[in-house]
Every structure is written in structure tokens, then in C-alpha cells.
Amino acid sequence: MKNMDLKPMLKPESVAIIGASRDPDKVGHVILQNYINGGYSGRIYAVNKSADEIMGIKSYSSVLDIKDKIDLAVISIPAQFVPEALEECGKAKVRTVVVVSGGFAEVGNNGLQEQLVKIAEKYNMPTLGPNCLGVMDPRSRVDTLFLPTYKLSRPSIGGVSFVCQSGAVGSTVLDMISGEGFGLSKFISYGNAAHIDEVDILRYLMGDKETKVIIMYIEGIKRGKEFIEIARKITKVKPVIVLKAGRTAAGQAAAHSHTAALAGNYESHEAIFRQYGFTIAEDLSDLLNYAKILSSEPRPKGGRLAIVTNGGGTGVLAADATGLSGYLQLAELSGKSRAALQKTMPPLVNLRVPLDLAGDADEKRYGDAMSILSTDETIDMFLVIVLFQTPGADSRVAAKLISFKEKLDKPMIVLSIGTDYTRMHKVMMESAGLPVYDSPNAAIRSLVELLKHSIYLNRK
């Protein structure tokens, strides 16, 4: 099947939960509850052979008994009963299906999984899974995750779509995203990729206007040639950040037992990613760090970095990371900037990058420095360090930086290290679209990936 239409799965007007249950410990109960409590405005149908009503919703013994058109069916029943339920979905002309049930190829039950593929293809019915979390779209309030909201916070609406082969990794990263400020467009967990795979998902997201950046966790690639074809096209349209698991023999074996993925040679995958402009993440934190900057910042013209700080030592660490990056270099301030800074800064401020505003720097000093440097043509990007433990650093500094961010046409990120008071201001800035990082290395590595993406786009 080519060009699978996933819109009915992510923007359904009606959904049937096959395996809906009154038992709070059952997967079908949690999924149904998510739809009810999450504000989904479409029509919800419960399917359970042993119940007439579940949580105030009429229950049907089969999806065939529902007279309405069903855009999405979510199947959460034991594996041996899934083929029959999927066949009934096909007969009922259900448009798309998510199979969250496990117990298929990941445990060696290949024959049962092949049955699902044959049924899906027979009815031309896009089917996600099995052995997956399914999908979530904060805009349409679709949420097939069988993880209750009190355990997994749901992210706010944003422009980053997350494609994940692993449900466990997916839930962890979603929880982390919910604590960040960039928000989520879509989450698609595809598990064993029996029918819908990463190629189908990328092809859909490439044309999705709500998706600005794509992050991926993958364990294997099923269709190498088709993946290369979509990779060649998609990175011209929007950034793709990928974390590929199964780099070692041990990891490849674990991937196969996890999602039945054929992980393949990592070096070959990496070569493809680099050739077609994918941003390569080394760990889960990279997925978030790179997503923040690629979804919010303009592409820089070069790698000349201005570091502005209220902590000398932290500025030195950032300078070291800059020098070791291989891509960035500290900016040399223009004579005009140095002259203007000399008039406004106290004598203890050295007029060079890193520009150390000293430990008593307040809103005015940050504002004066940024007003001058923002027009300096020798600077391509900014790293502003704010240590909120110092006397002058408070919400007024954060507000001042937000106001500069709104007017600046160059990349600008913040480095801020600390606990409760710092985190409060991190949320304040990130909610306004200003990326905040908690280590010099993370900040510099993210700026490097932003520059790499700019270089890649300029080659095309």
C-alpha cells in the first residue's frame, strides 16, 4: 500500500475502542477513559461482548453492530482474538486501526502477525502496530495511550511530532516533553511495524502543516530503498532528528526481541542519515535539546557565537565547549560594539566574548548588553547565560530576554543551571519560545546542530 492516509487515525470524527472495559486495570478501560476525560469531541463507541454499558457509554458486542461510520478502531484484546476483530473492522469499513495488543512477532508469533497484515491489505485498511502505544494528537484530543494521565503528563500543543518504535521510550520522552516548552504536534508509536512503518509515517508527516520538526526513535528500517527516497525529500521540507537504537550486536538482538526489528548495520544507517541531512541524536536528551532549537530558531548565517554571562566560570566552560565543537567560534566584537559597551558597562566588565556582566548583573545590564550586541554584524548567534542564584537575576531578566527574543532575527538560546527558582524561570522563558539548556555542552551541541542544518539547506 502506498501513500497511506493517516488523517482518519489522527483526526477521527468517530472512534471505537475494541476491548473497552469496566476494570480500571485493563488497557481498554484506560484508553476509553483517556478519550472521555481528554476532551475528545468526536463520537466514542465501546466494544465489549460482555457489557451493555461502560462508563456511561453504550457498549456493542461487535464493531459490525455500530451503524455509524468509524474512522478509527483501537484494538486492545488478547493477541489470539485480534485477527477476528480486525476482520470485523474490515467488513464494517473502518477507515484506520490501531492494534495496541502485544504477543505477535516480538515473541516469535510471526504467523499471527502475518494474519493481521493480510487482513489489513485485503481491506486496504491502514493498521498501526501491533505491540504499540498508538497515537496522540493534542489538537484533536486523540489519545490511544494506555497510560493514565496521573502517571504520564500529556504535552501541550506544539509543532514537534514524535515517531517512536518503542512504547517505553515513547512514554518516557513524552513525559519529558510535557516538562518542556516546545509542545507536541503528534505522537505515533508503531511497534512491530507490521503494516504501517516508518516510511508511511514520514510520508504523512512531510505534508502535515502542523508538524514543524520530526523526532524519531527507531530500532530498524523495513524498506531501505523507500526510506532513502523519503529521506531525500523530507529534510528539504522540515528537520528530522533521529535516535537509532541497535548500534551493537547486543543492542540489535535486544531490538529484535523487543519489536521484532531487524536493526541492521548501524554504520550504514548513519551514513544514510548524514547524507540526507538528518540530525543524529546520541541519547534521549539530544532528541529534546535538538527539537527545541530546530523548532524555534532561525537558521544562522555562520558560526560566530556571542556568549553573554553573569557567571565567569560558566562562561569559560561554554567557551571551551565552543572551541571543541569544530563548528563554532567565539565572535570578535566590532569596534562600535566595544565603544558602546564601554559607555554603559561598569569597569569590571571585560569587553570581549565571553562578555562577563559580573555577578551583580541585573535587568538593565542584560538589556544594555543585548541592545548593543543585537546589531553587531560580527555575531551570528547568541548564548545568554543567566545564573538565577545571583542577586540581580530575577523574573525581570527573564522578561527582558523574552522581549529581545521576539525582535531578534538571529538564534538566541539561554543557559541556566539550578533547581526550583531556576526551573520556574526556565518554564517562563520556554513557554515564550526561548529555548533554555541546563549545561554548557548541551547548549553548544544544540547550536552546532542548528548550524549543520543551515549548512545542509544551503547546499540544496
Please write the tens of the pLDDT for every residue from 18-31. 999 999 999 999 99
Least trusted range by pLDDT, from 54-58, 135-139, 219-223, 414-418: 219-223
Domain ends where: 296, 325, 344?
Answer: 296
102 in any annotated domain:
yes
Residue 232: left if φ>0, alpha if ψ -120 to 50, beta else—which one? alpha
Phi, psi for 48 (deg, rounded to 5): -160, 125
The DSSP result for 10-40, as a single string, is HS-SEEEEET--S-TTSHHHHHHHHHHHTT-
448 in any annotated domain:
yes
The CATH number assigned to the domain holding 326 equals 3.40.50.261
Nearest to 182 by CA among 282, 297, 308, 283: 297
Q: Which long-range contacts (CB under 8 A, 24 or more apart) does 230-234 make?
A: 230/199, 230/202, 230/203, 230/206, 231/202, 231/272, 231/273, 231/276, 231/278, 232/276, 233/206, 234/202, 234/205, 234/206
47's CB contacts (< 8 A; 6+ apart) are 16, 17, 18, 19, 20, 59, 60, 61, 62, 63, 66, 73
CB contact at 8 A, 58 and 35 = no
Return the pLDDT at 96. 98
Alpha helices (H) in 380-439, listed in sequence order: 395-407, 420-431
pLDDT in tens, 1-17: 467 999 999 999 999 99
pLDDT in tens, 387-425: 999 999 999 999 999 999 999 999 999 999 999 999 999
Return the pLDDT at 254. 56
Return the pLDDT at 262. 47
Q: Between helices 224-234 and 198-206, what is the axis angle to 10°?
A: 20
Q: Do 444 and 327 fall within a single domain? A: yes
Statement: the pTM of the whole predicted model exceeds 0.85:
yes
- Rounded Cα gap, residues 190 and 151, in angstroms: 21
pLDDT above 80: residue 39: yes
pLDDT above 70: residue 304: yes
What size, in residues, is the chain?
Answer: 460
- Rounded Cα gap, residues 383 and 371, in angstroms: 14
Percent of the chain with pLDDT over 70: 95
Structural domain including 373 reads 299-459
144 in any annotated domain:
no
Q: Do 314 and 407 fall within a single domain? A: yes
Residue 252: band (very low, low, confident or very high) from pLDDT cuts 50, 70, 90? low
Q: Do 288 and 305 fall within a single domain? A: no
Quickly tell me which residue has 558597562 as its cell: 345
Q: Do 358 and 244 fall within a single domain? A: no
136 in any annotated domain:
no
Task: State how many domains the chain has.
Answer: 3
CB contact at 8 A, 93 and 69 = yes
- Rounded Cα gap, residues 33 and 155, in angstroms: 18
Residue 268: band (very low, low, confident or very high) from pLDDT cuts 50, 70, 90? confident
Return the pLDDT at 256. 46
